[in-house]
A and B are shown apart, each in its own frame.
Chain A
Amino acid sequence: MKGKVFKFGNDIDTDIILPGRYLIYTDEEELSKHCMEGLVSDFKSQANDGDFIVGGTNFGCGSSREHAPIAIKGCGISAVIAESFARIFYRNATNVGVPLLEAPGISEIIEDGEEIEVDMEKGIILSESGKEIEFKKLPPFMLEILESGGLISYLRKQNE
C-alpha cells in the first residue's frame, strides 16, 4: 500500500473524527463528508484513495460510535497508523474493515504530507526518506476480515 500521510496528534477522539450531530446518519457516503471535521474542513476532498492517517497515542478515544471508522473508510483511507489506539475504536475499525496499525515511534519519524509505503506482510512502513518503521503485524484471521471489507462481509463469505 502506498499513499500520502495526514498526520494528527495524541488523543484524537471520536468527536473529532465524526462529531455527534452527524450520528443521525448511517450512510458511509454521508458520514465521510464530515470526517475529521473538528480539525480539518473538507478532509474528504483532500484525501485520495489509499492515503493514510497517522496519529499519536490513544487514537479513537471516546464514544463507541462505529460511525467514526465508517467515515474514515468512506474517505478512502487505507489504514490508520498510530502509537496506540483506544479499545472500542480498535474493535470497531477492524469490524468495518479499516486496518489499524500500531507503530510505536511513528509520530516522531513520519511527517504530514509524506508519501509512505506499508508492507502488511512484513509489518514494515517505509518513509519517503527511506527509513523503516516496524508495526505489530496483524494475525491472518484479522487480515481476512479486513480483506473482506469487514466482519459482516467476512461472516457472509464464510457462510456461503
Chain B
Amino acid sequence: MSYLELSYITKSFPTPKGPYVVLKDVALKIKRGEFVALLGHSGCGKSTLLNMVAGLSRATTGGVILEGKEVYEPGPDRMVVFQNYSLLPWLTAYENVLLGINAALSGTEAEKKEIADRYIALVGLTANAHKKPGELSGGMKQRVALARALSIRPKVLLLDEPFGALDALTREEMQDEVLKLWEADRTTVLMITHEIDEAILLADRIVLMTNGPEATIGLILDVNFPRPRSRADILEDPAYYTLRNQVMTFLYERAGDPALVD
C-alpha cells in the first residue's frame, strides 16, 4: 500500500505551436517513511513535478494521491523546503519558524513556542534564533527553513534542491544534518537533486528522470546501505561505486544530454 502516489502525471504548457509536454506519464509509489531522491538533468521537469506534489500547480492529466486522497491544493501536510530558502526577511529565524507553527498547529501559545524553540535547537540555531535572515549565512538560512518545515510535522517533506545554493563544504555539512534529522524521525521525503552523491547518501531509492520534453521516470535504483549511515562508511563500500556508475551511465548515456549541470 503506497502512502504517496504520483499517478500517471502529465504536464503540458500551451504554446502558440501547440502544447509543450514537460512531463509524460510519471508514475511512482512512495512508502510511508521512505526517502526518495528524484535525480535528473536541469530542465527535465523535476521542480514542476515537486510543485504538483506540493499542490502549487496542477497536473494536466493524472494526479497526486496522499493517503488515498487526491491532492488539489497546497497545504502544511506537504511542507516544502525551497532552494532559495523563502524565509521572510522581516522576521527573525525564530519568528519564521513560529509563523508556520501558528498557522498549521493547534495548541496553546506556550506549547507553540516550546515547539519552535525545540526545532530551532534541533538544527543548532539557538544562538542565532533572534537574528533576521539577512544576518545569517546560506547554510543557517537553510537550517531555519528546515526547522520551519519539520516543526509542523508534515506527512511528506518536499525538498527542492535544498542545498543547490550552498558552497560545497556547507552543502556536505547540511547533508549530514538532514541525514541525522531524518534518521531520527523518518518523515516521508521526496527530494529533488542533481547531485549523485547527495542522493546516494540520503535516499532509500533514487528515481532517475529522462530528459525533457516528455520527461518521465527512466530508472529506479534501490540504495541499500544500512542505517544509520555515514559518509565515510558509504565511501568504503564497493557497492557505492557500482551504484554511482549505474547512475552516471544512465545520466550520460540513456538520458541523452551529457551536459550535467553543476
A is bound by B: no
